[in-house]
């Protein structure tokens, strides 16, 4: 027994972090199913681990984004890469919204769902912001207030401004400032590395609590909606991310998933694209050889701007709501859903659970019942695992593609 236990511990220590995390997810799910609701009592341990990462989230994004932007050798390079990153994220988000609607229309998850709208139920929802309101929301009156409240949109914009400012500085002043941000980035990554050593424990507790909370509801009334949503995620992952990645870089789907599994496991266990930023940066640079400049710019920006998983969910849920009340959506309504989904999901903060309000904004804008969205909210953790993992894998694929484009461009210029 002792020798077997010692051998088992030795084998466990040899596992990489991604394998340990996946094992913890499986064991946590089993433990939560067996223990039931009492498993929620250990959720605080997972929350403590998650907070260890979140407490350095703002400095991580600031330092990485500033370092990535300031590492670009000229404003022209910054503009070229920035335009590619933003265009890539917007295009894939539009595809995600369309796929969500198509999948929802084909499989009709809302058919058979019994819903009676109560006249007494009043659900408040934020109104869709105007263009002026959205632009104003990007710029902080006080960056320290934005940093302390972790308002990630304002943090991202202020970081971009700082990085661009450094690029335009004279070289003798630019280098010391850039080196300082680079050193701080290394310090933060070292701290995150320490936190990640406890990832299997944190993931085990979070998964056990989630399974203990929902139990057999996995096969309950929301099961069809869950299945259709995850089918949409698979279609988007293969038809958009993998096809484009393979065509542009030659990286096969299996190679991408294998090298990026650490990012995937972190996302599906934490349900926070923002908390996954440090791991995604590490995977992009170490496993795919992405340059610091591109990874440091693309991934932090993607954690807020690129929410393809949320766009897929928005499309599926809007069709689910319409089918539940027997409403046949017109082409104009479907077009509005696609546009609204793209606008609402792009620029979200990347925190767990934020998608419910985004769903309510879209549903309210097209006149669908908010009570159904509220019901879905009780199961949102199950959807959030898919929305987050899709979004962060999209960040990673975009970053790899753009890095390869830049390297091919540099090689061509060198040959000339």
Higher-confidence residue of 104 and 333: namely: 104
10-24: pLDDT as tens digits: 655 667 666 777 788
Q: Which of 24-28, 214-218, 350-354 has the highest mean pLDDT?
A: 24-28
Take residue 28 and report the two structure tokens written for it: 């946590």
39-73: pLDDT as tens digits: 888 888 888 887 787 787 788 778 877 877 777 66
Take residue 394 and report the two structure tokens written for it: 């999209």
Is residue 334 within 8 A of residue 101, CB to CB? The reply is yes
196-228: pLDDT as tens digits: 788 788 888 887 887 787 665 544 556 888 899
Higher-confidence residue of 84 and 365: namely: 84
DSSP letter string, 84-101: HHHHHHHHHHHHHHHHHH
Is 121's pLDDT higher than 50? no
CB under 8 Å to 17, separation ≥6 — which residues? Answer: 196, 199, 200, 262
Residue-level pLDDT at 152? 67
244-285: pLDDT as tens digits: 899 999 999 899 988 999 899 888 877 778 778 888 988 999
């Amino acid at each position: 027994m002792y020798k077997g236990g010692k051998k088992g511990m030795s084998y466990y220590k040899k596992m990489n972090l991604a394998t340990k995390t996946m094992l913890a997810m499986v064991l946590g799910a089993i433990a939560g199913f067996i223990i039931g609701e009492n498993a929620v009592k250990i959720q605080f341990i997972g929350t403590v681990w998650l907070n260890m990462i979140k407490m350095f989230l703002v400095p991580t994004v600031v330092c990485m984004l500033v370092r990535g932007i300031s590492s670009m050798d000229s404003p022209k390079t910054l503009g070229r890469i920035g335009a590619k990153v933003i265009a890539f994220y917007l295009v894939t988000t539009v595809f995600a919204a369309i796929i969500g609607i198509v999948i929802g229309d084909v499989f009709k998850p809302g058919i058979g769902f019994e819903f009676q709208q109560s006249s007494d139920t009043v659900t408040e929802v934020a109104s869709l912001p105007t263009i002026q309101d959205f632009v104003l929301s990007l710029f902080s009156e006080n960056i320290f207030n934005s940093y302390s409240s972790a308002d990630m949109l304002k943090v991202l914009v202020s970081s971009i401004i700082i990085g661009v400012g450094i690029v335009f500085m004279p070289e003798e002043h630019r280098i010391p400032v850039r080196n300082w941000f680079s050193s701080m980035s290394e310090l933060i990554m070292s701290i995150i590395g320490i936190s990640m050593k406890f990832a299997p424990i944190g993931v085990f507790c979070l998964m056990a609590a989630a399974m203990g909370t929902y139990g057999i509801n996995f096969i309950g009334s929301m099961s069809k909606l869950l299945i259709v949503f995850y089918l949409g995620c698979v279609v988007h992952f293969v038809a958009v991310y993998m096809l484009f990645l393979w065509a542009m870089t030659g990286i096969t789907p299996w190679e991408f998933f294998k090298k990026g599994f650490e990012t995937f496991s972190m996302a599906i266990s934490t349900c926070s694209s923002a908390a996954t930023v440090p791991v995604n940066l590490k995977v992009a640079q170490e496993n795919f050889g992405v340059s610091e400049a591109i990874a440091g710019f693309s991934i932090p920006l993607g954690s807020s701007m690129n929410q393809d998983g949320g766009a897929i969910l928005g499309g599926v849920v809007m069709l689910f709501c319409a089918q539940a009340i027997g409403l046949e959506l017109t082409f104009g309504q479907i077009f509005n859903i696609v546009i609204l989904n793209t606008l609402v999901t792009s620029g979200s903060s990347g925190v767990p659970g934020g998608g419910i309000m985004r769903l309510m904004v879209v549903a309210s804008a097209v006149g669908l019942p908010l009570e159904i969205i509220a019901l879905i909210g009780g199961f949102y953790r199950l959807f959030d695992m898919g929305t987050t993992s899709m979004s962060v894998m999209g960040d990673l694929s975009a970053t790899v593609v753009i890095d390869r484009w830049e390297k091919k461009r540099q090689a061509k210029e060198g040959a000339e």
